Amino acid sequence: MSKLLSRKGIYPFLNKEFEKIESGGKVLTIGAGGEVNKLLKEYSIQNSFDVTSFDISEDMRPDILGDICTYDFEENKYDFIVIAEVLEHLHSPHLAIDKIGNVLNSNGKVILTVPFIFPIHERPYDYYRYTKYGLEFLFKDFCNLKIKERNSWIEAINVLFVRLVMDQNITSRLFAPFFIILAFLNLPFIFILSKVIKTDFITTGYLLTAEKNGNRK
């Protein structure tokens, strides 16, 4: 439930970006499972582009098994790299971003989503949270960098509220159905507040695109 609320802004963004991938394009997706990669596969069939999956976990059955922070891609190059809800789980994100820059074709594009205000998940491999300014620093060697909040401040608060009541203790589980109904009933109120009070200080995460600098080898 909290994941659904947190990812509210992700899928319109990804649909728009995946639609732009042209026939014959080579795409590397980092993190081989989940709904995002299912969506990417659907677009690859529709638009006739090639997708290679990469993951550190053998259980995800990726095309390439390895650690993106250290893996040697040799001469392989890609036109697009998709990294959705993965960056927070990488132990050395600066190495991963540098690697991404190296394996992108000239003017190749990164499509990235990452959480900001979101509870700890996938323990113990949840290492970081990124502000917009942290992302700008990580991608400082790329060009045409665009970063956007994926939902409003009050939706972020709602995500934390829902996650709290769905915690693992017995009391939370007993009252969870009531609080979930309450969260849905609050949606019109949340929508109005998000329009009245504007701020970019609080969001559940960010949507990012960036292109490889043509001067970088």
What count of residues does the chain have? Answer: 217
pLDDT of residue 215: 67
Whole-number Å distance between alpha carbons of 177 and 197? 29
Quickly state the pLDDT bin for 138 (edges 50, 70, 90): very high
Report which of 12, 151, 137 is spatially closest to residue 87, judged by C-alpha positions. Answer: 137
Residue with the bigger pLDDT between 90 and 182: it is 90
CATH classification number, 2-152+202-212, choose in 3.30.1330.30, 3.40.50.150, 1.25.60.10, 3.20.20.450 = 3.40.50.150
Span of 85-99, 133-147, 202-216 with lowest mean pLDDT: 202-216
pLDDT of residue 1: 47
> The pTM is what?
0.82
Task: Find the helix or strand (DSSP H, E) in which 102 lies.
Answer: helix 93-103
Residue with the bigger pLDDT between 94 and 156: it is 94
Quickly state the pLDDT bin for 22 (edges 50, 70, 90): very high
Q: Is the pLDDT of residue 86 over 80?
A: yes
pLDDT of residue 19: 95
Whole-number Å distance between alpha carbons of 196 and 55? 42
Unique residue bearing structure tokens 């960010």: 206
Quickly state the pLDDT bin for 96 (edges 50, 70, 90): very high
Whole-number Å distance between alpha carbons of 39 and 14? 9
Burial class (CB in 10 A: 0-12, 13-18, 19+), 135: buried
Q: Is the pLDDT of residue 6 over 60?
A: no
Whole-number Å distance between alpha carbons of 141 and 127? 23
pLDDT of residue 2: 45
Signed CA dihedral, 187, 193, 198, 200: sign only: negative
